[in-house]
Structure 1
Amino acid sequence: MSTRQTTTTLEDQPVPVRAKLAAAWTSFVFLYAYVDILNFFTPGAIADILNGKVFKFDLSQTFSTSALALVSVPIFMVVLSMTLPARANRIANLVVVALYVPVTVFNLLGASWLFFYGLGVVLELSLLALILRYAWTWPSTAPSATSPDRETARARQ
């Protein structure tokens, strides 16, 4: 007696660019946070914090506000990637990626655990490259002969 196996093909639905961008920014935020959290386990990190230092910076309201502002941008990019109009969305993603590449590389300066921070930076840069690719290659449609372009539509009003 033979058993006949039937194979089914799973439907591979296309993922909208907005969802890809939001997912990539979400991954970036998690990675960004976990690198910082795992840093607490490096020798001397807690002692430095208790002595009021993070890296070379004094712990202060200014430092904490700056750190919050820095991490808030990619957090907001999750929601903005899903809600901004396409053109503004694309531009915002391209600009923020361009700003966060140097910020990400800066995290390597003075790193005592080069493999740990190096891996974190490589992974973060990989996600930023993916975001750049999604935003740069955002699909566009050419105006068709049957649908008027914006200028024609405005002229008719």
Structure 2
Amino acid sequence: MDTKHNTNSLKDFEVNIKIKLAFLWTSVTLCYLYGDYFELYVPQKTAGLVNGANLLDNPVKLFMAAFLLAIPAVMVFFSILLEPKINRFLNILFGVFFTLIMVLIAFTSLTPWRSFYVFLALLESVITTLIVLYAWKWPKGA
């Protein structure tokens, strides 16, 4: 009996490293968005947005936050577009950077109302660690 043609198995194919990285960056970006959205349900959060008593209380801080969070979104595109050497470098660099930021946020958000934020920050850390590992093990050319 030929075991190569097992009718019970599903065909799989190898996913290109660039596609894996792009989808990982997509996943982490969505987690960032969900975290910021769910934070609006924390008591007094929206009041702080209205009266200006919040972390992003001036144009420079707001721009810096926008710039920082644009990086993962742009990495979705860059992971597909860029040539392997620079692509690998940027994925490792930003993967490590965002992993460290999210671990810091997780440990500084340990309150009952922010437990969702801790969960997402740890999940985001796992995803960005996977980005680093995949980029680090980028397949070599022939």
- Regarding TM over 0.5, the answer is yes
**C-alpha displacement of 1:115:** 2.1
TM-score relative to the length of structure 2: 0.86
> Using the alignment, how far apart are the partners of 2:48 and 2:140 within structure 1?
51
1:53-132 equivalence runs, <5 A: 53-54=53-54, 57-108=55-106, 109-112=108-111, 113-132=113-132
TM-score relative to the length of structure 1: 0.79
Q: Which has the higher helix share?
A: 2
The count of corresponding residues between Structure 1 and Structure 2 is 135
Which whole-Å deviations, capped at 9, do the CAs of 1:60-94 have from their partners, x for residues lacking one?
21121111101100011000000111111100100
- Structure 1: state its 5+ residue gaps: 1-5, 143-157
- Structure 2: state its 5+ residue gaps: 1-5
Which whole-Å deviations, capped at 9, do the CAs of 1:41-64 have from their partners, x for residues lacking one?
01111111112122xx35221121
Which whole-Å deviations, capped at 9, do the CAs of 1:124-155 have from their partners, x for residues lacking one?
0010111011101111135xxxxxxxxxxxxx
Quote the RMSD (CA, aligned, Å): 1.8
Q: Identity over the aligned pairs, expressed in percent?
A: 30
Indicate the SS of the match to 1:53: coil
- One-letter code aligned to 1:78: V
8 Å CA contact retained: 2:102, 2:125:
yes
The structure with more radius of gyration: 1
